[in-house]
Amino acid sequence: MKSARFTGIATSHIALPFAALALAVLAGCGGGAGSSGSGGGIQLSDNGGVVETVNGEAVPQRLLDALAQSRGIDLSNPAMREKALKQLTDTVLLAQAAKKQGFGSDPEFAAAVELGRLQGIASATMRQLQTKSTVDDAAVRAEYDAQAAKGGASEYDFGQIVFATEEQANKASAEINGGKNYDEVVEAYRKDARMARNFPKVRASMLPPQLAGALAGLKPGETTKAPVQVQQGWALVHLNALNSVPQPPFEQMKEGLRRTLSRKASEDQMTKLRDEAKVTLTNPPPPSTLPPPPPAPARPPGMMPMTPGTPGAPQLMPQPQPQPQPPQAMQQKPAPTGAKPAPAGGAQKPKS
């Protein structure tokens, strides 16, 4: 007997997806093997009234409401209501076509419909759990006070001078460690540096981890004892000032904190369900019914295999769009002739 592998339920998406709604309608029209709708037609015990009929089949208002809720559609807006109705009509038409053509007898089709039905139930259940997780004002206030006790966010005013090589950075660092003023060292080495500038009011969340970590270990007026490897090379980081960012007033944060606590309560219930569940994996697992992946295209003789990140190579993940960033996105000076380039990746520790 074939068995589906237990993967749990994603708790980050609690809205009923439109795709799941579409597959649920297919299940109601006989697309899903063993579903409650295998007799055909949309089945709701309380349909909330009929919003339209499609080829003689009544379409419930509650289905339109569910679609609007999942897509953030305002049904009081005539244009948006018309758009939602068109989407729902298309869904019902496809469900009717699936039934007419007997797609439900295809095991792969039936499995896709059943998966959509289960995902729809799971998403709607998570939404219900969150709705029923009542969070009173006292709990919200306690969370606000707890965050205030931890201290608000901080902003750094800092400077950095970046060199192409670790040797250059170590030379400048030795002068600072010997007692020379950071600003004096910056002026003396500016012509040899790739970048030298100050950055005001920068939060740690905006910085690369290596810079955020370096600043976290400094007091105002201090400079890193050793160069920090960054994307452009080796940097000396100097903290000018640490500014506290006041926490917003309670009324401004109240509803956001309430939603956060409500979501956490529903996720805690999901965790409890997982912990209490008895899940037994079939061993050995049944063979997959999916066809094998197509073979990789042959590469011409003598060509080296491409790795992700190589121009022309397939990317494993979409590349992020360029965003304005603090220090490391600034224009660089070309490396001095004959200088040893910094290692790529920015993840190695500086040599002692």
pLDDT at position 235, please?
95
Same domain flag for 127 and 67: yes
Same domain flag for 212 and 228: yes
pLDDT tens column, 296-305: 777 555 544 4
pLDDT tens column, 274-302: 999 999 999 888 888 888 888 877 755 55
Number of domains, the chain = 3
Widest pairwise Cα distance in the chain: 88
Same domain flag for 125 and 25: yes
What DSSP element (H or E) covers 198? strand 195-203
Residue 7 has pLDDT above 90, yes or no: no
Residues 13-28 have a mean pLDDT of: 51
Same domain flag for 23 and 124: yes
Q: Which is more confidently placed, 189 or 126? A: 189
3-state class (DSSP) for residue 257: helix
Residue 13 has pLDDT above 50, yes or no: no
Same domain flag for 210 and 264: no
Kindly tell me the burial class for residue 323, based on how many C-beta atoms sit within 10 Å of its own C-beta (0-12, 13-18, 19 or more): exposed
Least Cα distance to 95 among 41, 33, 36, 17 occurs for 41
Spatial separation of the C-alpha atoms in residues 222 and 92, rounded to whole Å = 67
Token readout for 235 is 């940097």
pTM of the model: 0.49
**CATH number of domain containing 166:** 3.10.50.40
Last residue of a domain, one of 187, 220, 244: 244
Token readout for 309 is 């990140």
Residue 314 has pLDDT above 90, yes or no: no
Spatial separation of the C-alpha atoms in residues 9 and 112, rounded to whole Å = 17
Residue 339 covered by a domain: no
pLDDT tens column, 165-220: 999 999 999 999 999 999 999 999 999 999 999 999 998 888 999 999 999 999 99
Same domain flag for 83 and 195: no
215 in Cβ contact with 204 (< 8 Å): yes
Give me the chain's average pLDDT, please.
78
Q: What is the CA angle 5-6-7, rounded to 5?
A: 110
pLDDT at position 86, please?
95
pLDDT at position 25, please?
62
Backbone torsion region of residue 79, taken as left when φ is above 0, otherwise alpha when ψ lies between -120 and 50, otherwise beta: alpha
Q: Which is more confidently placed, 86 or 6? A: 86
3-state class (DSSP) for residue 52: strand
Written as one string, the DSSP assignment of 64-105 is: HHHHHHHHT--TTSHHHHHHHHHHHHHHHHHHHHHHHTTGGG
Range of the domain at 126: 18-132
pLDDT band at 6 (very low <50, low <70, confident <90, very high): very low
Q: Which residues contact 184 (CB under 8 A, 6 or more apart)?
A: none
Quick one: how far is CA 143 from the chain centroid?
24
